[in-house]
Structure formats: structure tokens, C-alpha cells
Amino acid sequence: MPLTSIISLLQFTTILPLGRTRDFGEFARRSWLYPLAGYVVGGIAASAVFFIGQPLIAAAIALGLLFLLTGCNHLDGLMDLGDGLMAHGDREKRVNALTDRQIGTGGLALAISVCLISFSSLAAAPCLPCALIIAEVGGKFSMAFLSRFGIPFHEGLHSSIQSQSRPWFPVLAAILCIPLVLLPVAPLSLAAAAVMMVACPTALLLISRRLFGGVNGDVVGASNEITRALVLAALCLA
């Protein structure tokens, strides 16, 4: 059922208390629902900082709330990706660095860089609550994109989602992003954000295929963080 799928999605992507644990398969069969989690997480964070007039404080609190609501799971994937990107050697060594639970300097450097872009872009955003929602929905769209096109290099959560994804899922995920046009944001900024929503996961897909031989859950989670940061930057610069 759709409601069960949405609850399963939110239990998978957030720490929100939503009662008994739903079957993960309910969401895996409908991974195009990812953007809905963006509306929920971004909406909660936007509501929490709506009345904070100091943009630096609002940006810091908003970013902290995003990490809190998602349990830092996507941030963990970002740091794992950083280790994999910075590893020296052949593909096997890079995959080992990507999947190793220890965090190295590559992961720390990438996380700091992405967080700085996110924070500074939020602080500079003309409409911080709007930027939060757009960026979080965009990040979740990138996860839906990779859940379809990211061929897994090993068995895991990502492989179970990808195996049930269908060619039309990214289209459905994109349709869920259409309500963003109702926000008071300039059309040019929205267009720039839309480009980043597709360009970021596409770049990650190509890089991951070359360096790791495919995609795993860490790459998908990292895509959320990187896409969110670059969407925020695009909203400020466009």
C-alpha cells in the first residue's frame, strides 16, 4: 500500500518515530518515492528556522537538523566515498577504502568541503527555508536516480533497491519535484537547481563506474549530500 511504502521510506531515511517497523520491501519496490522524504526532512528543518532572522545562525541550525533527522547516514556515506576517492592503487583497494568502516583523511576532507558549501550557501540564500526544501528534495531525487541507474558492485541494501527499480522510476521521482515551482524562487534559480539534481548523480555514476566498478549504498548516500550542497550553491549563484 502507498502509505505503508511512504512510512517505510521515512523509516529508512530518517530517525522519525513512526511506530512499528514496516517491511523495507514496501519502499524498495517504490524507490521513486524518495523526494517525499526530502519534503518531510526539508520541511521540518525549514519550519524550525523560519523565524530566525540571523542567517548564519539559521544556516548552522538548519544543517544540524538535517544531519539529526537523517541520523547522519548520508553523511557517513559521503565520508566513505571520500576515502574511496582518495585511496591509491587498483580498483580493489579503492573499494576496500570505500567499504571500510574506518574514516580517513579523504573522507574528513570531503565532508568538511561539502558542509562548508552547504552552510555558506544556506547563509547567503535569499529565502533560506525555500532553499532548504528545494535542496533536500533535490538530494533525494539524486538517490532515486542512482537507485535506477547505479549498477551495484556487490550485494547489499542498494542492490536490493536497484533490482526492483524500473525505467520509469526517475520520471515519477521528477514529477514529485514539480511542486517546488510553487515556492517563491526565481525561475532561473529553479532551473539551475534542476540541472544540479541530474548533473550531480550523473557525475557520481560515471566516477563510481570507473573507480569502483559500480555503485553501493555509500555512493547513493553521498549523492544526497553532494547534490544538496550544489543545489544550494546554484540557488545562490543563478
pLDDT in tens, 31-54: 999 999 999 999 999 999 999 989
pLDDT of 157 reads 86
| pLDDT of res. 1 | 53
By the 10 Å C-beta count (0-12 exposed, 13-18 middle, 19+ buried), 142 is classed as: buried
pLDDT per position as a tens digit, 88-123: 888 999 999 999 888 889 999 999 999 999 999 999
Residue 93: φ, ψ to 5°:
-70, -35
Beta strand residue intervals within the chain, DSSP E: none
Three-state SS string across 127-160, please?
CHHHHHHHHHHHHHHHHHHHHHHCCECCCCHHHH
The set of cell numbers assigned to 82 is 571520500
Percent of the chain with pLDDT over 90: 87
pLDDT tens figures, 61-73: 999 999 999 999 9
Whether the per-residue pLDDT at 20 is higher than 90: the answer is no
- Give, for 28, the enclosing helix (H) or strand (E): helix 24-28
pLDDT at 103: 85
pLDDT of residue 155: 86
SS3 103: coil
pLDDT tens-place string over residues 159-208: 999 999 999 999 999 999 999 999 999 999 999 999 999 999 999 999 99
Return the half-sphere exposure (C-beta side, CA atoms, 13 A cut-off) of residue 238.
19
What pLDDT does 77 receive?
A: 94
- Model confidence at 55: pLDDT above 70: yes
If you average pLDDT over residues 153-163, what whole number do you get? Answer: 90
Which pLDDT belongs to residue 100?
86
> Which sequence spans correspond to the domains of the chain?
32-237
Mean pLDDT, the chain, rounded, equals 94
